[in-house]
Structure formats: structure tokens, C-alpha cells
Amino acid sequence: MFNKYIKLVIAGAILVWSVFQFIDGNIMNGISLILFAGIFVLLYFKNEFILLAFWQLRSQNFAGASKWLSYIKNPSTALVKKQQGYFNFLHGIMVSQTNLTQAEKFFKKALSLGLSMKHDIAMAKLQLAGIAMSKRRKREATMLINEAKKLDTQKVLADQIKMLKDQMKKM
């Protein structure tokens, strides 16, 4: 919606306004304005369109997620580095249904840009392992599965890892 720098300028302006509210003796207005400024700071670090796309993916609505991501016109300038990683991660998930080569590029770019959470990195590596298996690159798939297993400390992806290992034995 707003450029990443405009969000910080808006937050700064609201903070200045809150200082004037404190000076005038309107303490509750000042506190409310600080909280309001916090929303813009949060949206600097967590892009609203990426959050909405994740929300759509939770309900398996790939068209809705794609629609929200399409609002981000130039991710290299509109997003900070981690958000660019998640932008590519989400595109990789959506494209993996149709084009594995393009999905592989998106996942590799997401990993190179960085993802915040270990289970997201594990998921991306697991997806790359599945793509490598489908392209008959067994050594690369084994390495990626092992890396994903190390990153999956909560054992959320344990079933998928086991399934990929079983499929690899059949290769």
C-alpha cells in the first residue's frame, strides 16, 4: 500500500504529534498515537500484502494469495530483504503446483535473501528436495532433506520428511 520509507515517515510524524499531545496534557491521546505509530513500524517489517497472502494460503486459496502478491509491483524497492525472501517463498509455493523449474528458482532466491523462521527455511529446503527428486538428483535431495530435518526442531515436517525418504528409497 505504502512504500517502505513512507511508512517510517508517517510513523515519525505521528510520534511528533503524540509528543505535542503529551505537552498539551492529553496523555491518553499521546499514548494512543504512539500505539498507532507502532502499526506503521510493524508494517515496515511485515508487509501487509504478504501477511494477507499467507492468510489466503492457510485456507488453500491460491488465487487469493496470488491476487494479494500481485499488488506488490516492484519487490526489490518496495520490500526489505526478508520480505523479498518471503515474497519469493510464497511465489515458489504457488508455482510449485505447475512449474517445478520456476518454483526451484523462487525457493533458491528466497533462501538466498533469507527467511526469518527455521521452519520456513526447512519447508523451502524440503520443497527443493522434492523438486531435486523429481529431476533425479538424488544426492542433492538427500542433502536438502538432512538440512530440513536439522532445522525442523518442532517436528512439524517429520511426516513429509519421512515420506520423501521413503520415496527416495524407491528411486
The whole model's pTM is what? 0.80
| Residue-level pLDDT at 113 | 92
Fold of 47-169: 1.25.40
Joined together, the cell numbers standing for residue 136 give: 533425479
**Rounded-to-5 percentages of helix, strand, coil across the chain:** 80, 0, 20
Q: How far is CA 81 from CA 40, 50, 118, 163, 171, in A?
A: 18, 13, 17, 33, 37
| Residue-level pLDDT at 65 | 92
Residue 48: which pLDDT band, with cuts at 50, 70 and 90?
confident
In tens, the pLDDT along 74-131 reads 888 878 888 999 999 999 999 988 889 999 999 999 999 989 888 889 999 999 999 9
* pLDDT for residue 1 is more than 60: no
Do the beta carbons of residue 107 and residue 92 sit within 8 Å?
yes
Query: Domain limits of the chain?
Result: 1-45, 47-169
Mean pLDDT of the chain: 89
The contacts of residue 4 (CB under 8 Å, 6+ apart) are: 44, 78, 79, 80
Cell numbers 524497492 correspond to: 77
Question: Mean pLDDT, to the nearest integer, of 22-33?
Answer: 95
Residue 73: which pLDDT band, with cuts at 50, 70 and 90?
confident
Cell numbers 509491483 correspond to: 73
Using alpha carbons only, give the angle 149, 86, 54 rounded to the nearest 5 degrees. Answer: 95
| Residue-level pLDDT at 157 | 85
| Residue-level pLDDT at 2 | 59
Question: Mean pLDDT, to the nearest integer, of 5-16?
Answer: 92
